[in-house]
Amino acid sequence: MSNPENASHPTDSSVVVLLRCDEYDPARVAETVSRGISMLGGIRQFATPEDRILLKPNLLVGKRPERAVTTHPVVFEAVARCFQEAGATVTYGDSPGFGRIETIARRAGIGAVADALDIPLADFRTGKTVSFPEGHAIKQFEIAVGALEADGIVSLSKLKTHALTRMTGAVKNLFGCIPGMLKGEFHGRLTDVERFSAMLVDLNRLLRPRLHIMDGIVAMEGNGPHNGRPRALRSLLFSTDPVALDAVMCRLVHLEPTLMATEVWGERLGMGRHTRITVIGDAVESLACSEFDVNRKTDFSVHMVHPLISRLMKNYVTPRPVLCAERCIRCGNCVKICPVTPKALDFQDSGETEPPRYNYKQCIRCYCCQEMCPEGAIEVETPLLGRIARRLPL
Ligand code: SF4
Ligand code: SF4
């Protein structure tokens, strides 16, 4: 990756703007967002006064901004103002795992900003079937009407860890354009991270946001994307190429980009590049954090071997969700979100007086339960054999 500030770049490379921003100070963030967009050619590249622009923040659950689960409202505000000043009509939307988007947006601080700037919520409850014959993993999507009605999408992702995909960034942020519980069906149909990631890339190829901006001022490490620890990375990232943007995100946290299947599929399917990237602005090395807690181990794809070995590997090698009974409040979110039938974790005969229990034979390791637990009571652990296998020089 090269790093010339405002330098011309090879035409066969993708440009990512990386800018240092130390805190969520509104004036500082507004200046940095404005500079980042200018370095990509200016707001006119991304909107005209006639355009309806959808802002797609990460609104996974309703947590306070300082928990670093959701896109920070100060970043949302800075981007919204840029597009409004360009004359565009701005809406926003996301489809969370559980709950009403209005409540979640309010808790995350974005609802108040949207009210103040008169930005309505787009319809993310209703879906419309869109055929995508060139899709690799999926040839037909159900997409939120609010995303389809926009002339252009601006994705506002949050830099966080993720149990299934290691990190969630620009490419994965569009998964929220699929309404409500329909998202679970994708986990049920695409039961390995490879096919699931190819689907995410297909979704990006279909919706093609005009601009991707990532909030990494305070990121999330560890047990993400919901219950990890905030970690200051002091970074805002901008690109029209979500694959390149995620590659720079990986470099910031010392993760080899090709360990993320979305990166591999993103380049293979022509969505973007994880190689040949020109970074402009601040140097990756000046903001990178080698201590960032993310899974950097090579995992074994259980789907590339004989079914019998695959079964054994799933039971004894592949990381599994583990429930901590002391932290469980028996809310049942994990049971509701589990996409397999019969459920791979359930209250069984306890009548919800005891925490749910796993049936690991049934579990497809999608980690949706870990993602949606409000108490951080579920963590992903690698069995002993898996930990040993990761040390082998393969
Ligand atoms: S989501 Fe978490 S707190 Fe709720 S029942 Fe499951 S493990 Fe317990
Ligand atoms: S138990 Fe958890 S990881 Fe297993 S299939 Fe259900 S939601 Fe996915």
The tens digit of pLDDT for each residue in 202-256 reads 999 999 999 999 999 999 999 999 999 999 999 999 999 999 999 999 999 999 9
Mean pLDDT of 24-35: 98
Cα 261 to Cα 137: distance, rounded to the nearest angstrom: 13
Q: Same structural domain for residues 249 and 319?
A: no
Q: Same structural domain for residues 243 and 387?
A: no
Q: Would you give the DSSP letter of residue 120? A: P
SS3 of 235, please? strand
Work out which ligand 1 atom sits closest to the CA atom of 333: 1
- Which token pair is 42? 């200016």
Q: Please provide the average confidence, as pLDDT, over all residues in the chain.
A: 92
Q: Is residue 342 part of a domain?
A: yes
Determine the pLDDT at residue 181.
78
Q: Same structural domain for residues 276 and 311?
A: no
Higher pLDDT, 38 or 351: 38
Domains: count for the chain? 2
Q: Same structural domain for residues 262 and 348?
A: no
Cα 148 to Cα 128: distance, rounded to the nearest angstrom: 8
Report residues whose beta carbon is within 6 angstroms of any ligand 2 atom: 321, 337-338, 340, 344-345, 358, 363-369
Q: Same structural domain for residues 308 and 283?
A: no
pLDDT band (50, 70, 90) for residue 150:
very high
Minimal-distance CA residue to ligand 1 atom 8: 328
Cα 329 to Cα 61: distance, rounded to the nearest angstrom: 17
Domain containing residue 134: CATH number:
3.40.50.11440
C-beta 323 within 6 A of ligand 1: yes
Query: What percentage of the chain carries pLDDT values higher than 70?
Result: 92
C-beta 328 within 6 A of ligand 1: yes
Q: Which of 287, 322, 350 is the last residue of a domain?
A: 287
Q: Which of 287, 316, 343 is the last residue of a domain?
A: 287
Cα 119 to Cα 162: distance, rounded to the nearest angstrom: 30
Contact 39, 240 (CB under 8 A): no
- Look up residue 308 and give its amino acid: L
- Look up residue 216 and give its amino acid: G
Q: Is residue 207 part of a domain?
A: yes
Determine the pLDDT at residue 141.
96
Query: pTM score, two decimals?
Result: 0.92
Q: What is the domain range of residue 321?
A: 302-391
- Which token pair is 197? 């990631």
Q: Is residue 1 part of a domain?
A: no
Q: Is residue 33 part of a domain?
A: yes
Q: Is residue 103 part of a domain?
A: yes
The tens digit of pLDDT for each residue in 274-327 reads 999 999 999 999 999 999 999 998 765 544 556 666 667 777 788 999 999 999
Work out which ligand 1 atom sits closest to the CA atom of 376: 2
Rounded distance from Cα 226 to ligand 2 centre (Å): 16
Minimal-distance CA residue to ligand 1 atom 2: 373
Determine the pLDDT at residue 393.
52
Rounded distance from Cα 64 to ligand 2 centre (Å): 26
The tens digit of pLDDT for each residue in 91-130 reads 999 999 788 999 999 999 999 999 999 999 999 999 999 9
Minimal-distance CA residue to ligand 2 atom 1: 344
Cα 316 to Cα 207: distance, rounded to the nearest angstrom: 39
Contact 380, 367 (CB under 8 A): yes
Rounded distance from Cα 337 to ligand 2 centre (Å): 8
Cα 90 to Cα 80: distance, rounded to the nearest angstrom: 7
* Element of type H or E holding 158: strand 152-162
Contact 32, 236 (CB under 8 A): yes
Q: Same structural domain for residues 145 and 225?
A: yes
Query: What percentage of the chain carries pLDDT values higher than 90?
Result: 82
